[in-house]
Amino acid sequence: MPSVKKRTSRSSPNRNYAFQYVSKMNTLRHFPLGSRWPDSPHAVISSLPTMQDVRGYEEHEPRVIEAMQSGYPRFVLHEYVRQLLDFYVEREGLLGRSVVLVAGERALQDVRDFCGTGVDRVEVDAGVFLLHCDLEDVDLAEKLRKCVQHIGCSVYSRQAEDLLVKHALKAGLFPEVVAEGNSLQAVRDMLAQQIGCGSSDVLLTSSGMSAFYAGFRGVQALQRGRGRTAWVQLGWLYLDSGCVLKEFLGEEETLDYSYDVSDVDAIIEQLRTYGDSLAAVVLEYPSNPLLQTCEVHRIAAAVREFGGVLVIDPSIASVFNVDVLPHTDLLVTSLTKYTAVEGDVMCGAIAVNPSSPYYSVLATCVADNHSPAYGRDIARLGHEIKTAPKAVAQMSQNASRLYAYLAQHPGVKKIYFAGSSKYLGAIAQEQGSVGAVISVELEGDMEIFYDAVKVMKGPSFGTRFTLLCPFMYLAHYDLVTTDVGRTFLAEVGIAPELIRISVGTEPYEAIEAVFAEALDRSV
């Protein structure tokens, strides 16, 4: 939660060219600390080239934090957002307060409901709200910051850029290639074709977490009305998805876990025990970071039989690779991965299955709770989605080849890949649709390997460029740095030193050479 100080400097003029990713540029190289890719102010990934840098980022070392040119916006305050906060805080006379920005009335209400009294608001521009609280109330300030992070309702870089220009704090917009015409409809049409529903059944949200949160709230509204209160998480969920389930359920609602999704018989028996109280089952398919799959059709049938709602997030493989809508009531996904293949757009999507017995009510509940994507983000996404299917197919092909190489390499202890599962074929869009992600445990020194790999390193996946991250260190640093946390990870079968690889579209031979060199150094 920043305490904003007065700032008077203006942004430098933009470059005089339209930004467009050039696939021939070398992305199999070392990226300096804090550098972003693509080289755009809207990039969502910033380089953490060594494990020392990763630890420094998690421990908020000034050396690392000050070097970050960009970053995943729910965790790194974008420079444009910071400039905008400076301006609003000075204008509203709120120096010394803890402040955040949220976009939209829906998000505003959710944050205020969660945080309670002590949080004040100012509508600083149309539909943009500055929420603030006493800097000395550390617990409330942290609660406010975490709430905005979990539900994904922030003001992101393009909206902030527009507002900076509006207030004469920036000379102009960063030039970039965008889709012409009705980008919203074009994106919805293409996603609907991939998902297997009508365009009207697809809603675009401001982020993947915003999609998950809207879906959660929609299901919650539906099932509370039916007196159903038992929620179940299957497998490991993305950090903030899990936080939403833990933090936003009511006192009368419960949350249970089943981290092992391989034993479907046991899962079905567990679901049966809830009787008429079963509200919803939530899972990522395939799972992140272990890329687990299972007989999802059996789980879907059981949830339907027991009166629950099934929510599936296919982000780790994307809707371009897997067809999960027939097996779920509600699909939620991040479009920042795979669809925004350049790595420079925050966006998510929700789709309600028209065949769901809850379709009508659920569609209304979800629509009432969603925060729409920003117009300029949609326009940029409309450009990138045109090439996404071809890029995603190349990622899958490269990932399959890299998996085959790594699986037989003596430096690899364990390897996880959705394409190796006998269950993936049942939901794959077509043969070979396996996604870009591989996770590995190493025989040798993970830190030496990580530092040596010549690729971009940071969170996210599903980009044109190969990307690598020490998943648990970036997502659950508290678990890998405590004895209790490491014991828990051992119980659920996730190695603290797990490396997650997102394979890009670079020439395969070059990708393999980069990983071969790093593995040779680590053993």
**For residues 366 and 370, what is the distance between their CA atoms, to the nearest angstrom?**
6
Are residue 161 and residue 128 in the same domain, yes or no? yes
pLDDT at 1 over 60: no
Are residue 269 and residue 410 in the same domain, yes or no? no
26-46 pLDDT, tens digit each: 899 999 999 999 999 999 999
220-248 pLDDT, tens digit each: 999 999 999 999 999 999 989 999 999 99
Q: Is 35 a member of any domain?
A: no
Judge contact between 205 and 372, C-beta under 8 A: yes
Residue 24: its pLDDT value, please? Answer: 52
Q: Report the first-to-last Cα separation within the chain, whole angstroms.
A: 42
Q: Is 24 a member of any domain?
A: no
Whether the upstream peptide bond of residue 326 has omega within 30° of 0, thus cis, is: no
Q: Is 44 a member of any domain?
A: no
Give the residue carrying structure tokens 């099934």: 310
pLDDT at 465 over 80: yes
Share the mean pLDDT of the chain. 93
Are residue 59 and residue 136 in the same domain, yes or no? yes
Percent over 70 (pLDDT), the chain: 95
Q: Is 392 a member of any domain?
A: yes
Residue 292: its pLDDT value, please? Answer: 93
Q: Is 176 a member of any domain?
A: no
Structure-token pair, residue 78 = 């974008």
Residue 119: its pLDDT value, please? Answer: 94
Domain boundary among 364, 384, 404: 384
98-146 pLDDT, tens digit each: 999 999 999 999 998 899 889 999 999 999 999 999 999 999 999 999 9
282-341 pLDDT, tens digit each: 999 999 999 999 999 999 999 999 999 999 999 999 999 999 999 999 999 999 999 999
Domain span holding position 312: 183-384
User: Residue type for 87, please?
Assistant: F
Domain count along the chain: 3
pLDDT at 250 over 80: yes
- At 4, the pLDDT band (50, 70, 90 cuts) reads very low
| DSSP designation for 299 | H
Are residue 435 and residue 479 in the same domain, yes or no? yes
- At 75, the pLDDT band (50, 70, 90 cuts) reads confident
Q: Is 416 a member of any domain?
A: yes
Are residue 347 and residue 398 in the same domain, yes or no? no
Are residue 306 and residue 366 in the same domain, yes or no? yes
Are residue 424 and residue 496 in the same domain, yes or no? yes
The CATH number that applies at residue 455 is 3.90.1150.10
- At 2, the pLDDT band (50, 70, 90 cuts) reads very low
Are residue 223 and residue 357 in the same domain, yes or no? yes
Structure-token pair, residue 291 = 């890329």
Q: Is 15 a member of any domain?
A: no
Instruction: Give burial (CB, 10 Å; 0-12/13-18/19+) of 232.
Output: buried
3-state secondary structure of 8: coil
Residue 25: its pLDDT value, please? Answer: 63
